[in-house]
Structure 1
């Protein structure tokens, strides 16, 4: 009986397990205040342990006070984020702060205080919640008179349970009567919409650690002329195609014309060389013979004349005296012109 009394002398207040809810990123204060009996003369030891929420891992020591020293490098996930709140632990305060809370910090934390012969412990359940954030309001459907559509309120993140509240911020600030049953729902169904539904609405999302809000501007308008819109789009597309086709056609035609002009001025075209004059041939032949005759003596003149002149075609011989020079008419013919065309090292006659 005496031993039991000693065990009860060192106590922690409050003795019951408590639950703490905090938002991600915030700091959680985990209390552990104790009372020491004068008979407790042993060294003071304080130990905090974490039992993870998944119950698959063993209890982890996260911070320890022993021999007047603090040790806080036991748990890698909490390294640098767990601290004793008091500078004098012997005064009876073993509370800790866990900063920059993460979802992995969820679990049961146990505070153990020993001062022989006294021993006491306390458990604190820590829940880390995510505040609603990134909430957006939008319309799912066509905002036209007579249509059915939905207005939605969706947070990007937020721990359950979430609570929703819609409000109208414009005009009479009264929600349309058919919507009243869904004012606390993330989705409001709008049936047979009227222009009276137009206005600015807000949606507030809440959970136990925070809230977020978004705004929606609803503009219910008369039905649009979809057939006319589609026809206009089709006609516009066809006109654009026709214009593009004309541009391509003109560009290709211009390119062909430039290519043709380049070929006319630069391409090599072979033609038959100018014909030789029979008269000039005959004159050359006679001139050659005259040279030979000039070197002969009168004695052999008669035989040579008979022999050589008989070899000259009668046609050429007869024309020679009458046409001693090239006929100018053939050279200056009105329908002929000769130009030089140089390609590489060749020079050729071209006739046009």
Structure 2
């Protein structure tokens, strides 16, 4: 990551922008608004130097900024706003959830049924490369619900039981995925190709072990970090998706039916072990989920909002909703785990 995007020293708010906590008693996210009132479409461009100054000074401290009242409405203006930071937008490679491209570098948020919640997670923390920066744009707010809850990953790391945190950090995690079985994506969609040779090249370049099963499907294994150290601030963060990938995350009836038909847990659609292949204790995952719940902060979307997160400093999720909801996503600034300082 080009570290020039961040200036870790606090900066005074520019004269054109107001910066303040959105939620009482919490600095995540900070609300950024134009001091002279809501802008017309495209009006944000004249404030770009001040917007960028706020991002440099405040994002690495707060972990997330909510831009409101900047006249951003729709996929194309959102893409222009994200691209204004000068970083190429990333494709959604090696994805784990269904999404659709709506513009170059802009995707729908996870396309799970509206009645389902999505637990807190850091984007692509189940692999060795992820986006440092992620933007969310509310095009259409839900009738009810549909918030994107967030949590400070530094606070999560501090609140997890030290013995559990140390065990996860030392052992790391092994994610196992079996594609195209109804619960995980088809490998063609996860890797954005129909060519098995392209899949193998991607796996080889990203330290992913793979095998083609007898029925022609794909199984992958990858050993990844459980905690990480931020490349700019040096903060230790809780950075994994063990609580999402583990079979205990599924509803009991679904979990029991799956376990009844597999001989080995590595045959589950997706699962996670410690990096040495030993099982992760359900009690540890229950504790981790409780800490995440306790650290969660939530707010209702307003149409036109853009939330910018440092993906290592802030986790995000989704609440169930009714009505039509459209929140689109863009990502930038790839980070590789091997390039980070040791946690």
Classify the TM-score, shorter chain. Answer: under 0.3
Highest Rg: 1 or 2? 1
Larger strand percent: 1
Identify which of structures 1 and 2 has the higher relative contact order when contacts are C-alpha pairs closer than 8 Å and 6+ apart.
2
